[in-house]
A = this chain, B = another copy of it.
Amino acid sequence: MLQAAILGASGYVGAELLRLLAGHPAVRASRPFARSRAGEPVAAAHPQLAGDYPGAAFETFDGNLTGVDIIFAALPHGESQKLAPAILASGIPFVDLGADFRLNDAATYEQWYGDAHQEPEFLGQFTYGLPELHRKAIRASKAVAAPGCYPTATILALKPLLPFLEAGSIIVDAASGVTGAGRVPKEGTHFSTVSESFSAYGLLNHRHTAEMEMELGDGILFTPHLAPMNRGILATCYATATQAFDPLAVLHEAYAGEPFVTVSEEPPATKWTLGSNAARLTARYDQRTGRVIAIAAIDNLGKGAAGQMIQCANLMLGLDETAGLARSGVCP
C-alpha cells in the first residue's frame, strides 16, 4: 500500500479524504496532520471514522515525510505557499486544494485574495487539477492545484460550449451545501440560521471567479448561494449564444468515455452525486432569448474537493483513475 499524508486532516475535506482512502485499494491515509488537534484521536474529531481509524491520532507536521508516497493538503489559502518549496524539493507528488497555486499569475492572485503571493516562481510548477481538461498534464505532474468546488462545476458545464458563446456574456448562479463554508462554527453555519433558508452571499466578488475566468474567459458574473443541505453544488450557468446549436449534443460528445461525468436531458439534482466523485450535466439552447443554460451538479466535498484530489493522485501515481472513487451518489 502507498502511504498518504494529509495536511489539514481535521477539517471537512480532511474527513472526506480519510473516508475515501479507507476504501482505496492502493493508498492508505497513514499520516493525518492537524496542528490544532495534534495528539487527539482522529475519531474525536471525526466520530464517523471510528471504525476505520480506531487507533489513529493527529500529528503536527514537522517537515518529515519519510515513507510518504503522496501528499494531500486541505489548508486555508496562504498556507500552501509556506509549505510548497520544501514539498516540491522532496519530489513527493503533491495535491493541493488551497487556492495558492491554482491561478496562472501572481497579480490575479493578489487582486482576488488581497495578499501578495509569496512564492510566485512556483506557480508554473502546478497543474490545474481538473482531469477532464488536463488529464495528460496531471499525469506528468509532481504538483497539482485542485480546483475550487464552484469552478469545477462551472468549468465542466461551460468549457465545451465556449465556441458557441459570446465572449463576456457568462453569468454563473450557483448554490452550495453548508459544508462548503467549512467546519468552524459561525453564525452563518448555525443550523437555525441555515435550515429552512436560502440566500445569496459574496455578491460581485467571490474569489472563485478568478479560476472561472482563467479557464473560460473574462467578464464572468458569479453569484453563490447557500442552500439548506450538507453537500452539493448546483451551478446554473447562462450565456448568450452566437448561433442556434444543440448544447446537450456538444456536452455528450465532449464527455463521452469520461468515467465520472454523465450528461442527461433531465436536469440533475445534487443528491445524485452525494458522497461520490460524479459530475452530472445538462444544457439547453433557448430559441426565444438566444441564450444557453448549462447546469452541473457535483458533491462539493467529492468532485469539488476530496474526490477530485484522489482522482488526480491516481493519475499522478499511475493507478486506475477511478480507484477508491464512487460514481453513484448515496441517494436517497
Please state if B189 and A289 are interface contacts (CB–CB under 8 Å).
Answer: no
Contacts of A185 in B (CB 8 A): 185-187, 189-190
> What's the minimum C-beta distance from A211 to chain B, rounded to whole angstroms?
16
Starting from the known contacts A173-B238, A175-B225, A179-B192, 9 additional A-B residue pairs (CB-CB under 8 Å) come to A15-B331, A48-B329, A173-B173, A178-B190, A191-B191, A195-B229, A196-B231, A219-B288, A227-B227
| A124 interfacial by beta-carbon distance below 8 Å | no
> What's the minimum C-beta distance from A108 to chain B, rounded to whole angstroms?
13
A–B Cβ pairs within 8 angstroms, 5 of them: A48-B328, A171-B238, A191-B195, A195-B195, A197-B331
Question: Given A47-B272, A197-B271, are A289 and B179 neighbors across the interface (CB < 8 Å)?
Answer: no
| A183 interfacial by beta-carbon distance below 8 Å | yes
How many positions in chain A have a CB within 8 Å of any CB in the partner chain? 88
| A122 interfacial by beta-carbon distance below 8 Å | no
In the complex, identify which listed stretch (A96-104, A140-148, A262-270) lies at the interface while the others stay far away. A262-270
Of chain B, the residue at the smallest CB distance from A285 is B204
Contacts of A203 in B (CB 8 A): 267, 282, 284, 293
Please state if B195 and A330 are interface contacts (CB–CB under 8 Å).
Answer: no
Please state if A223 and B197 are interface contacts (CB–CB under 8 Å).
Answer: no
